[in-house]
Amino acid sequence: MCLCVFLLCAGLQYTTGCEVVSGFVICSAGESVLLSCRDINSGHTEVQWWYSDPQTYTPQYSVFPVDAVKGQRYKDRVQILRNLSLSITRLSVEDAGIYWCKTTETDKERYVELAVQGCSLSGNEGSVEISRYSGESVFLSCSVKCSPRHEPDSKFRWKLPNYIEINHTINPTELRRLYQGRLHMFDISSGNLSLLISDLTEEDEGLYSCWSDENQHKNFRLTVKGCTLSETEREPETKYTGDSVLLSCSCEDPNTKPEDFRWTHVESSGTEVSSETPRYKDRVHTFHKTTPSNLSLLISNLTEDDQGTYRCTVNNKTSADTRLIVKGETVVGSKIIKDFCFPVPNYLE
């Protein structure tokens, strides 16, 4: 990283790594610069630094203290030193322009034009917190801006969770393997380095970093909310043969879209309860296709063999059990009587 010192006086002094051409300073993106206000320093204790577009030469907004709205791109990158000089770190192409040094006591002012060459990330750096539900999509916005005669190159890359790195040269087959076709990259020649990830899973959670070089990057902390079951312990269900039963299982948050869930019959060595299993064929129904957070199971035409513990498991992580009791029927004469007890009248006691 170079340090460029521009002295606003007759003589210009600067360190190796930057140039001064026809009265303005040229540095590379990612470096730091020190703009001096030394020739109006004497007798003054405070100055203001302002930024203006090279086309207008009129101060537009304060650099430091950071303007509440327009100056946010300088946040954590600018500092006024004791000699009233302005330090700007991690230069971006968007920092190019006219910088004015003005005293607070008088109208005395000086300006310097700063040019930044190369390519840099557009907008604020730092960390962005993003929260999504499983099954949703997320757009990680990252773009690059280049000075004239420069264009994005292979230095731009993404660092994904689990220490994986990708850039625009990655083999499409490898990219599909990593995210099963759920990750999309854009045309880097347009400066769009963004990522789009669809059908999010809890495994997608983590830190995503967009890098332009070793000095410039933007972080995205992605949190993927999974399914937390509303109940993990339920009262037993008692039914009779031929009846239907609704075994309740749902996520606390109705916006949750679990990527995987299944019902099993514990006593049958974990037999999966689905229409694909012969013993349950045409007797079971689920609701998640219309309401993703509703994982409940409806079983019809119950038999005594259906009795037992049913387990709802979500993403192979959390589960909830429901005990089902199925009572048979007793034939008395020509009538079928359900197996249940009647209260005994008081006069028979």
Q: Please give the Cα distance from 121 to 158 (Å, whole number).
A: 13
Q: What is the pLDDT of residue 343?
A: 47
Q: What is the pLDDT of residue 278?
A: 93
Phi first, then psi, for residue 205 (nearest 5°) are -65, 145
CB 97 within 8 A of CB 88: no
- Region 199-223: what's the mean pLDDT? 89
CB 6 within 8 A of CB 115: no
Handedness of CA 140, 146, 151, 155 (dihedral sign): negative
Look at residues 156, 143, 229 and name the one whose alpha carbon lies nearest to residue 190: 143
Sheet with 19-21: strands ordered across: 19-21, 24-28, 109-117, 97-103, 47-52, 61-64
Q: What kind and span of H or E run contains 178?
A: helix 172-179
My answer on whether omega of the bond before 65 falls inside 30° of 0, hence cis, is yes
Q: Please give the Cα distance from 196 to 198 (Å, whole number).
A: 7
Name which CATH class applies to 3-117.
mainly beta
Q: Please give the Cα distance from 241 to 301 (Å, whole number).
A: 7
Residue 126 pLDDT grade (very low, low, confident, very high; cuts 50, 70, 90): low
- Residue-wise pLDDT for 311-320, tens only, equals 999 988 889 9
What is the domain partition of the chain in residue ranges?
Answer: 3-117, 126-225, 237-330
Domains 3-117 and 126-225 share a fold: yes
Q: Please give the Cα distance from 157 to 217 (Å, whole number).
A: 9
Residue 22 pLDDT grade (very low, low, confident, very high; cuts 50, 70, 90): low
Q: What is the CATH number of domain 126-225?
A: 2.60.40.10
Q: Considering all CA atoms of the chain, what is the largest pairwise distance in Å, rounded to the nearest integer? A: 120
Percentage of the chain modeled with pLDDT above 70: 80
Query: Per-residue DSSP letters for 328-349?
Result: -EEEETTEEEES-PPPPPGGG-
Task: Return the CATH superfamily for domain 237-330.
Answer: Immunoglobulins (2.60.40.10)
Higher pLDDT residue, 60 or 270? 270
Q: Please give the Cα distance from 160 to 219 (Å, whole number).
A: 10
Q: What is the pLDDT of residue 348?
A: 44
